[in-house]
Structure 1
Amino acid sequence: MTFTKTSQKFGQWADSRANTVFGLGFGSEQQLAKFAEKFQEVKDAAKLARDKSQEKMETSSNHSQESGRVTPSNPSTPQASSINGTDDEKISHVGPEAALLMSENDRLKTAVEQSNTNAKKWETELQTLQESNARLEDALTESSANVESWKKQLSVCKEESDALRDKIIELEAQCKEVSLEQERNAQLTAKVQELEAELQDKEQELQNLRKQAEIIPQLMAECESITDKLRTAETKNVELDGRIGGLQADADENRQKQGDMQGELKKFMDILDGKIDELHEFRQGLSKLGVGN
């Protein structure tokens, strides 16, 4: 079996012989890592114990086969059971091949005793591994029950989530309707305010018209007075037009006189310019006379 981390807090392993997949959840990532290390440690220990057991069994089998082959090969050699006395006496009465067989037999006995000791130790380790396996199976069973419980809780949570999601969608739709209604109310409020402002303006205009209607007689009297004043002003305007005509004639006459005076002035200026030129030439002549003297 191989333990695989499928997420930060969940792992699973498969038993290919049983065609089963187990999963286990943890409270933290550290617990998951510790469990994975212990899982691998137990797996390695079980593999090592199995390998050692197989090696010991093969060694014992090989020794037994060698002993079985050596003993019947010398029928003329007397057996140790047929010789009475101590071991030294036995060795002294038998040949070197029998002594070799006896020493080999002792070595095999020692190996068998060591194998029995190892077998007991392996049985103890196997018992420990079986207990660990039982605890793991209990933990897996509990985990499976927890997974089923979590699945049920998850399904319940999903149903609640779906119900809440539908409720949220319904509330959002209601909120949209409320917002649209609020916008309509705001538009209606703005329209009412505009109408109220227009009504106030109309009332103000009506009040102004009433005030103007009150002062209409006064305005009519003032209008008649202004009409009289206008007639008087028109009469004065006719008189002023006559005066303006006389003044224009006087102005034209003055303008004619002014033109004549400008002509005479121009002639005088021309004569004056000639005189100035003559005086200038006379002065230059005097200057030349003064320089000659």
Structure 2
Amino acid sequence: NTQFSIKLLQQTTSQQPIFSTRAHVFQIDPSTKKNWVPTSKHAVTVSYFYDSTRTVYRIISLDGSKAIINSTITPNMSFTKTSHKFGQWADSRANTVYGLGFSSEAHLSKFADKFAEFKEAARLAKERSQEKMELTSTPSQESATGELQSPVTPESINGTDERVTPDAAFNTEINAVLFPHSSTSISKHWEAELATLKGNNAKLTAALLESTANVKQWKQQLAAYQDEAERLHKRVTELECVSGQTAGVKTQKTELNQTIEELEAELKAREEELENLKQEVEEASQLQTQKDSLAQKLQETELRSAELESQLLDLEQRLENSQLESESFRRSLRSLLELLDGKIFELSELRDSLAKLMESDSS
């Protein structure tokens, strides 16, 4: 997969994209076939490429050196807008569904228009290739029966031999007579193929020359490395001769190394202990801060409690005074009622006397 991504990266860097945009890339979850799984952490470049060697259009997107989209557009594909900023298409060859999230509806519409355009171009290219196959199949059958077509040699394939044999020339004339409309397209097709093969041959030749120069350079480096190895081997032999005299020094060195290792281990332990003490001091400081904060809150609570108690006592005193006033008011009312009852009784007696007096006068 890594080698395929690297190869795809080399192909895309060597070609210019037809159209590019930026979007968030998703793929359908293969297990549920419902949920979207993001294949890029951020928006990446999504480009249309035209593969001239295969006459196909591709959608390619790379996240660093990883290929997250490599989809070949076919005439039966369709790009669907599922929202204002999201679209998707199914790729049966990759056995997945790709989804793209755009920053705006305009970017989505532009990508969809390009998809439809290149889909139509892929359909036309497929029809042209089928026509070429049909046109080339009939002459090849006739040449097979009449033995008019010359065999294809390796020289003619790699583009190093441009000579035309008499059989090939005769075959070309026959094709021109029998198929006047197709001979031009066939010759153009093979001329394009020949030009492509020549270009590839030139690239391979340049690569071969470069590799030859690299081999020479590597041979020089190898010779230098061999000389250095011989010099080091001689130095090792000299040191081995001296090693007998330095046995005591090696013993002391070993002891010193052991002492240094012990001191380093002890120093490391002290550093760890110091680090632990620092953490404990920081924790104690935090606890002291929390304690001070709690003490201040407790003092404030106590002050508030004292204020509430004072207010409670004041309210109780007010309530008691109010109760006393209410009792005094009740007594006053009771005395007034008794006095009123006496007056009413006196008035009733006076009324009865006046009534009797009036009755006696009338008689």
State the TM-score, normalizing by the size of structure 1: 0.32
Greater share of residues in strand? 2
Greater share of residues in helix? 1
Work out which of the two has the higher radius of gyration on C-alpha atoms and give 1 or 2. 1
